[in-house]
Amino acid sequence: MSISNQSLAKYKLVFLGDQAVGKTSIITRFMYDKFDSTYQATIGIDFLSKTMYLEDRTVRLQLWDTAGQERFRSLIPSYIRDSSVAVIVYDVTNRTSFLNVTRWVQEVRVERGGDVNIFLVGNKTDLLDKRQVSLEESDAHARELGVHFIETSAKAGFNIKALFRRIGASLPGSDAGRGEDAANGANGGGPATVQLEAKAKPAAASACSC
Amino acid sequence: MAAADEAAQDLYGFPLPPGAAVEAAVGAPRGGRELPPEPELKELVRGGVPPPLRGWVWTEASGAAARRAAQSPSYFAGMAAAGQAAAAPHAAAIAADARCAFPAHPWLRSDEGQAALRRVCAAFAAHNPRVGYTRPLSQIVALLLVALNRNQARWENAFWLLVQLVEATLLEGTYSQNLAGCAVEMRALEALIAAKLPRLAAHMAALEADVSLFAMDWFLSLFAASLPSETAARVWDALLLEGPKILFRVALALLKSNEDALLSNGSAGELTLAARAAAAGAHDRDALMRVAFEGVGGLPMAVIERARGQGSREVEAEARERDAARSGSAGGAVSPRHVPQQHSGELRELRERAGVLTAVAASGVRKGVGALVSAARKAAGGGPDKRAGGEGAVPGALAP
């Protein structure tokens, strides 16, 4: 299978966010269209890859799932920090996980500057009566941070496809374009991005050592 | 022969692919309660401890029995109660992780198994608040519990083994608030791969595949969730006596035995999966340990310490760099009021730790086998364990 994938443009996606917000669940829903409340817990880092068919081309997504616990943060290798897309997940029923989003965004920007698409994802919308973070507040916060935003429920399968469609549309067309489709993909991603938010702007383009 | 009849499970009750060999249970423990002298003991543990003897050999050879003897008999119960109090800081995380430590294992999933996991992890978090609780600990506890026959009377031994592992056996800081010790071990492993497996090292460098992508959980969970359980227990036989050099030997053996497969991968992700698959498929314990002890070649502690010293300097430098980058970006669009915790304290701690680690590496402070055995002996005679300290032990907690 690796032979047929050889020619596809590859994109690295890293999933970040606090512990137990549902990073693995979102990936599992996307990969296998299933949900299981008893996963083997992620220790450190996990890897999955999937071919995705976009409107005008086919790409290979490399998904890196990270452990959410605070103490793992400094161990996330720069290889993964160096991703095209950072998906930062919080739990809409856990206010702390939402407040920590700012720090995750900052973490990614320190590493990558503005050279990365950041998606803010509020997961667990199926838990209606436990919600602690409103859609409006998150939307406003995402605008403030200059990142894309969507709410999902991995359990109910809500908006997971939409999330990855948006991610696909945001991918730089020529970035990793060693493949045959690189030519027609140039800048193809930009305009299709859902304009919930203006294009991500780095935090006051100050001294970024990356 | 407990598990031999059930083809689908290994000795410890974990699911097993068809055809994998099951460890033959050996008779009852010997009458003697004294471990053999060091050279013989080392040879014996490297050959594999018979499963029914594991509880005894592990607790004695590691020094856990000595620790236990140095404390009041109610120490574990007291810590377990404190750690499971409603307001205990890690109770929720422990309960959540207990459910997904080994979801496929029937006993660990049962009410009793869950209670055991929670109790031991909570007791440890109360005993050592500086480490507290982190996910890999529950995986270690899970395998300890099943290897110690799940017997409620032995839960306490699982606790003391965990204490001994974290506070004496493994590199200091392995489970600290930023896992700095583990970061150092990753650098050390990287250096050893470069020395022992240069082709693989070059391939990994070309793919930008950081060793921590696959080895972080090997060193944090001590292979509990990476190797088949009986193979992991076999690794622990040697680890608990000889210390973390065994982790390096086994990691190098897994990579060496599967080098061709690893070299054929074209991306860091594929390489990560291949390394994980190599570990998950290592049912032939004897073959793996033969490579670990013979195929890998000489691995003196001094070499590991040198690699650690270099590693800790790199970890420290990176932390400083990250710190500088962070302070450089402060005052940007990101409002500081949203930042829930200060980085500076964390980084200062990392630096302190790295400093300590450099010192540790320089002085080669890792205790030898002799010290382990003599400590175990001393314990048998009721003496206190002088090797207290280690990682953030609560002052006084180790005093009688």
Q: What is the dihedral of CA A92, A95, A98, A104, to 10 degrees?
A: -140
Which residues have CB under 8 Å from A165's CB, separation 6+?
none
Record the pTM.
0.78
Decide if B295 is inside a domain. yes
pLDDT digits (tens, 9 = 90+) for A97-112: 999 999 999 989 888 8
Q: What is the dihedral of CA B16, B21, B22, B25, to 10 degrees?
A: -170
CB contact under 8 A, B103 and A40: yes
For residue A192, count CB atoms less than 10 angstroms from its CB and return exposed for 0-12, middle for 13-18, buried for 19 or more.
middle
Closest partner residue to B178 (CB to CB) among A45, A64, A71 is A71
Chain A nearest-CA residue for B181: A75
- Check whether residue B217 and residue B141 sit in a common domain: no
Q: Where are the alpha helices (DSSP H) in A12-118?
A: 23-32, 78-81, 95-99, 101-112
Closest partner residue to B100 (CB to CB) among A40, A99, A110 is A40
- Between CA A199 and CA A146 the distance in angstroms is 7
Mean pLDDT of the A32-38 span = 81
Residues B351-367 as b or e (16 or more Cβ within 10 Å = b) = bebbebbbebbeeeebe
- Between CA B265 and CA A49 the distance in angstroms is 14
pLDDT digits (tens, 9 = 90+) for A109-145: 888 888 899 999 999 999 999 999 999 999 999 999 9
Of the candidates A78, A117, A102, the one whose C-alpha atom is nearest the C-alpha of residue A18 is: A102
CB of B334 within 8 A of CB of A102?
yes
Cα within 13 Å of Cα(B228), Cβ side: 24
Helix (H) or strand (E) holding A142: helix A135-145
- Check whether residue B162 and residue B14 sit in a common domain: yes
- In the chain, the amino acid numbered A181 is D
| Pairing of β A58-66 and β A9-17 | parallel
For residue B272, report the phi and psi dihedrals to the nearest 5 degrees.
-60, -45
What pLDDT is attached to residue B357? 44
- Check whether residue B102 and residue B160 sit in a common domain: yes
- Between CA B348 and CA B323 the distance in angstroms is 10
Q: Taking the domains of chain A in order of start, what are their residue ranges?
A: 5-196
Cα within 13 Å of Cα(B268), Cβ side: 27
Domain boundary among B110, B135, B169: B169
Q: How many residues are there in chain B?
A: 400
- pLDDT one digit per residue (tens) for chain B, 400 residues: 444 444 567 888 888 776 555 444 433 444 456 888 888 999 999 999 999 999 999 999 999 999 999 999 999 999 999 999 988 889 988 998 898 888 889 999 999 999 999 999 999 999 999 999 999 999 999 999 999 987 778 899 999 999 999 999 999 999 999 999 999 999 999 999 999 999 999 999 999 999 999 999 999 999 999 999 999 999 999 999 999 999 999 999 999 999 999 999 999 999 999 999 999 999 999 999 999 999 999 999 999 999 999 999 999 998 888 778 777 654 444 333 333 333 444 444 444 444 444 443 333 333 333 343 344 344 344 333 333 333 433 333 333 3
CB contact under 8 A, B328 and A62: no
CB contact under 8 A, A110 and B325: yes
Q: How far is A155 from chain B (nearest CA, A)?
A: 17
What pLDDT is attached to residue A110? 84
- Between CA B73 and CA A98 the distance in angstroms is 44
> Which residues face A153 on adjacent strands?
A158
Domain boundary among B279, B304, B329: B304
- Between CA B21 and CA B133 the distance in angstroms is 34
- Check whether residue B60 and residue B201 sit in a common domain: no
Decide if B45 is inside a domain. no
- Is pLDDT at A20 greater than 80 in this prediction? yes
What's the CATH number where B99 sits?
1.10.8.270
pLDDT digits (tens, 9 = 90+) for A55-80: 888 999 999 999 888 888 888 877 77
Residues in chain A with CB shorter than 8 Å from the CB of B225 are 40, 43
Tokens of A67: 């452990």
What pLDDT is attached to residue A70? 83
Q: How many residues are there in chain A?
A: 210
- Between CA B326 and CA A208 the distance in angstroms is 8
**Domain total for chain B?**
2
- Check whether residue B84 and residue B197 sit in a common domain: no
- Is pLDDT at A86 greater than 90 in this prediction? yes
Domain boundary among B169, B191, B209: B169
Residues in chain A with CB shorter than 8 Å from the CB of B208 are 79
- Check whether residue B247 and residue B272 sit in a common domain: yes
What pLDDT is attached to residue B172? 95
What pLDDT is attached to residue B375? 40
Put simply, whether A100 touches B (Cβ < 8 Å) is yes
What's the CATH number where B295 sits?
1.10.472.80
Closest partner residue to A77 (CB to CB) among B177, B213, B329 is B213
Helix axes B229-242, B245-257, angle to 10 degrees: 140
- Check whether residue B184 and residue B296 sit in a common domain: yes
| ipTM over 0.95 threshold | no
- Check whether residue B202 and residue B158 sit in a common domain: no
Q: Where are the alpha helices (DSSP H) in chain B?
A: 38-47, 54-62, 64-69, 75-83, 91-100, 106-109, 111-127, 135-147, 155-164, 180-196, 198-207, 212-220, 229-242, 245-257, 259-263, 268-280, 285-290, 301-329, 343-363, 369-380
Tokens of B312: 């800790």
Residues A27-38 as b or e (16 or more Cβ within 10 Å = b) = bbbbeeeebeee
**Interface contacts (A, B; CB < 8 Å):** 139
- Between CA A45 and CA B186 the distance in angstroms is 14
Question: In terms of residue numbers, what domain contains B103?
Answer: 2-18+53-169
CB contact under 8 A, B326 and A110: yes
Put simply, whether A203 touches B (Cβ < 8 Å) is yes
CATH fold of A5-196 reads Rossmann fold (3.40.50)
Choose the mutation target among B105, B166, B213 for the interface with A, i.e. most A CBs under 10 Å.
B213
Assign A82 a pLDDT band (cuts: 50, 70, 90).
confident
- Check whether residue B214 and residue B128 sit in a common domain: no
